[in-house]
Amino acid sequence: SIFPGKLVAKEGWCNAWVQRAG
């Protein structure tokens, strides 16, 4: 996903968690 500013870090963390869980 694409998010501005600080949300980039959260997006990256969510993606990493999803890949790890999957």
Give the C-alpha separation, 19 to 16, whole Å: 5
For 1-22, what is each residue's pLDDT tens digit? Answer: 565 666 666 777 777 777 776 6
- pLDDT value, residue 13: 78
- pLDDT value, residue 7: 60
- pLDDT value, residue 4: 62
Provide DSSP, 1-22.
----TTHHHHHHHHHHHHHHH-
